[in-house]
Amino acid sequence: MRRLFPVTDQTPASPRDRADREWSLDELADAYAYPSLGPDGHWLRANMVSTLDGAAQHDGRSQPISGETDMKIFGTLRALADVVVVGAETVRREGYRPARAREAFAARREAAGQGPAPAIAVVTARMDLDFSLPLFTSPLVPTLVVTGATAPADRVAEAVKAGAEVVVAGDGAAVDPARAVRELAGRGLRRQLTEGGPRLLGQFVAADALDELCLTISPMLAAGDAQRIAGGPSVTVPHRLAPASVLEEAGFLFTSYRRI
């Protein structure tokens, strides 16, 4: 993996010796470390993949446009997070399972005061989820279901019965994205990672709740009518981010942009 642009001030020096070898998980974890957060701070980063022509999926899934190193960074970003925030449609389409503990990151998570694995937080208005899945019945860390105050009471009861923790982050049925970030942070889940899908990411962007975008640019063309990485409501003025890093491996670009 080659470093094309400085990663962050936290990145170890001497990138030259990495040009022709695989980066270790520790080096990736240092490169993608969350910024220092104050006592009331939180940080929401997104991790998405897109083809050269802007497709975020192929045949409804992101895996076909991903690659080995992209999945390595995917795992690293998860291992650094307190919580992974994901939309209900993505849970259904991608077959989400509970996050697992990874020995390679155990000491780092313990030093940061984190549990063995990040929690998964599923954002849903209709609660249209299969609560018999392992994501809800047998996670290492209890799964959270983020919904609105008027969510169907029977579905809320079903989620609680399955072992999930229900988080109310909206006065109606819909979830307020900025409030969801605050509610999760209030539970000590301050290092936040969203993996989409595009509709949820678009809601975070529209609410100006996103602090960082980690975007893998896949060296593929998909054409068709696949979704972009963010959809839904538009913003009045586009939000500008500052580049933090660009890495390259096998034609894939692994970029990071942060709030200015």
- Which has the closest alpha carbon to 51: 228, 237, 258? 228
Residue 190 near residue 37, CB atoms below 8 Å: yes
- Residue 62 corresponds to which tokens in the numbers above? 């992101």
Query: Using an 8 Å Cβ cutoff, are 259 and 210 in contact?
Result: yes
Q: What six digits make up the tokens of 42?
A: 């939180």
Average pLDDT over residues 229-251: 93
- Report yes or no: 195 and 118 within 8 Å, Cβ to Cβ: no
The pTM score is: 0.92
Using CA atoms, how far apart are residues 170 and 175, in angstroms rounded to an integer? 5
Over the stretch 181-236, which tens digit does the pLDDT of each residue have? Answer: 999 999 999 999 999 889 999 999 999 999 999 999 999 999 998 899 999 888 99
Count of all residues that appear for the chain in the document: 260
For the chain, counts of helices (H) and of strands (E): 8, 10
The whole-number average pLDDT for the span 51-80 is: 93
Contacts with 130 (C-beta within 8 Å, 6 or more apart), sequence order? 92
For residues 19 and 184, the model is more confident at: 184
Q: Write the pLDDT tens digit of every residue in 131-171.
A: 999 999 999 999 999 999 999 999 999 999 999 999 999 99
